[in-house]
Amino acid sequence: MDTLTLIKPDDFHLHLRDGSELASVARDSARRFARAIIMPNLAPPVVSVRQALEYRRRILDCLPDNPDFNPLMTLYLTDNTPRDEVDRVAETGEVYAFKYYPAGATTHSASGVTDIGKVMPVLEYMAQRDVPLLLHGEVTDAEVDIFDREKVFIERILSPLVENINALRIVLEHVTTRDAVQFVSGASDRIAATITPHHLMLNRNAMLAEGINPHHYCLPILKRERHRQALVAAATSGNPKFFLGTDSAPHSARAKEKPPCCAGIYNACAAIELYASVFDAMDSLDTLEQFASRNGARFYGLPLNTQKISLRREEWQIPDVINFAGATLVPFRAGGSCRWKLVDEH
Ligand code: NCD
Ligand code: ZN
């Protein structure tokens, strides 16, 4: 099979930033994806439906050539999110979920939740109104080893949360461990997970073994090979609980290369092509459309996209650098080759 035609996929976890940074990166996603769940971790964060709709307008204004791209907005949950805001989310067609960042867990998470106890009432209300919760699933306690933070989050936070509010729909975002795959696989249909291309392709040696590579630093951090293998098995399995979310998160080369390195990997310029390469290597191209175009839509209760994209088996080179608001951005696999190429949309 040398050409692959898919229902145009959706990216269920994307950072687009704002202003001229947004303008530099938005098209890479809009060419490949029909819809994307837009992360609200701007500075300051997007905490109200009003702000989300203004941000959505700024995204669309950057994409005059991609009028069909549909940004699915989210709000940033804080210790003080009011119930009214949950009502507004449930009642607007353009905001789809709340994002939970444990305070201090990652880029622009300072306003995140300091203690899950503080948000239990609002989470219960989200369950009542059937508004999904998207989790950055890592604890932030200094005494927990960084490689264990997802596993400990599942034990201490997620598992009790699912028990206490079993009607809440939850996406455990960018899963990185076998523990997460097992938890999500064994949980109810209301619990799902997204998986990034970089966590499917790399283990932590890619960040640490041949000299520290800041361009492979993201959160949750890359894990051991056996975890990567569990992610690949989950993504390619066809299990409807697992779907595509790139976590494409651009930072300038300067911000990545000057300590302390910012967490985040930019993969939007080759995202569906890289996923296709992973599925191809596993002889699983037949399940790519489920993972990329069907499972997430089903979880979010969205119609399948009517557009299609095609990929061709052809080596091409991922750019060394991309212009990022006048600065330099080093994308994932910069200068490397990719064996599936995007053909024009149709
Ligand atoms: C993200 C970013 O840069 O906004 N970084 C990352 O490493 N994934 C934030 C996030 O999703 O954790
Ligand atoms: Zn993210």
Q: What is the C-alpha separation between 265 and 287, in angstroms, rounded? A: 25
List pLDDT tens digits, range 115-130: 999 999 999 999 999 9
Residue 286: predicted pLDDT:
98
Whether pLDDT at 106 is above 90: no
Query: Can you tell me which atom of ligand 1 is nearest the CA of 173?
Result: 11
Q: Which of 247, 280, 283, 320 is catalytic?
A: 247
Residue 199: predicted pLDDT:
99
Question: Do 268 and 246 meet the contact criterion of CB atoms below 8 Å apart?
Answer: yes
Question: Do 324 and 21 meet the contact criterion of CB atoms below 8 Å apart?
Answer: yes
- 247: annotated active-site residue: yes
Q: What is the C-alpha separation between 269 and 14, in angstroms, rounded? A: 12
Which of 100, 247, 261 best tests ligand 1's pocket when mutated (most atoms within 8 Å of CB)? Answer: 247
Q: What is the C-alpha separation between 339 and 312, in angstroms, rounded? A: 8
* DSSP string across 163-221: HH-TT--EEE-S--SHHHHHHHHHS-TTEEEEE-HHHHH--THHHHBTB--GGG--SSP
Question: Do 277 and 341 meet the contact criterion of CB atoms below 8 Å apart?
Answer: no
List pLDDT tens digits, range 153-206: 999 999 999 999 999 999 999 999 999 999 999 999 999 999 999 999 999 999
Residue 216: predicted pLDDT:
98
What confidence category does residue 105 fall into, taking pLDDT thresholds of 50, 70 and 90?
Answer: confident
pLDDT above 70 covers a percentage of the chain that reads 99
Whether pLDDT at 346 is above 70: no
Residue 130: predicted pLDDT:
98
Q: What is the C-alpha separation between 139 and 261, in angstroms, rounded? A: 20
User: Hey, what are 119's tokens?
Assistant: 């948000």
Which of 22, 46, 107 best tests ligand 1's pocket when mutated (most atoms within 8 Å of CB)? Answer: 107
Nearest to 198 by CA among 174, 172, 178: 174
Whether pLDDT at 107 is above 80: no
Residue nearest to atom 6 of ligand 1 (CA): 264
Q: pTM score, two decimals?
A: 0.97
* DSSP string across 33-78: -SEEEEP---SS---SHHHHHHHHHHHHHT-TT-TT-EEEEEEE--
What confidence category does residue 109 fall into, taking pLDDT thresholds of 50, 70 and 90?
Answer: confident
Q: What is the C-alpha separation between 175 and 158, in angstroms, rounded? A: 13
Residue 259, preceding peptide bond in cis (omega within 30° of 0): no
Flag the least confident range among 70-84, 94-108, 199-213, 233-247. 94-108
List pLDDT tens digits, range 215-268: 999 999 999 999 999 999 999 999 999 999 999 999 999 999 999 999 999 999
Whether pLDDT at 334 is above 80: yes
Ligand 1: residues whose CB is within 6 Å?
A: 15, 41, 106-108, 136, 218-219, 247, 249, 263-264
| Nearest bound ligand to the CA of residue 247 | 2
Residue 345: predicted pLDDT:
53
